[in-house]
Amino acid sequence: MSLIRVLLAILFPPLAVYDRGCGSILIVLLLTLAGWIPGVIGALVILNKN
């Protein structure tokens, strides 16, 4: 995980996972719509996976 990705995950979570596939973007987008903190956590979890 790069520093830019972490900052992007904090500021706008769906944009941070754009290269992980459509499913990841959709999940993070729904979590972000439910609340900002769940979206950030979801994006960081997806970015942490190898």
| Residue 2 pLDDT class (50, 70, 90 cuts) | confident
Buried (b) or exposed (e) across 2-15, using 16+ Cβ within 10 A?
A: eeebbebbeeebbe
pLDDT digits (tens, 9 = 90+) for 3-41: 999 999 999 999 999 998 899 999 999 999 999 999 999
CA-atom Rg of the chain in angstroms: 9
Confidence at residue 25, expressed as pLDDT on a 0 to 100 scale: 94
Range of the domain at 38: 3-48
Q: Which residues contact 2 (CB under 8 A, 6 or more apart)?
A: none
Tally of structural domains, the chain: 1
Q: Cα 29 vs. chain centroid, distance in angstroms?
A: 8
Number of residues assigned to the chain = 50
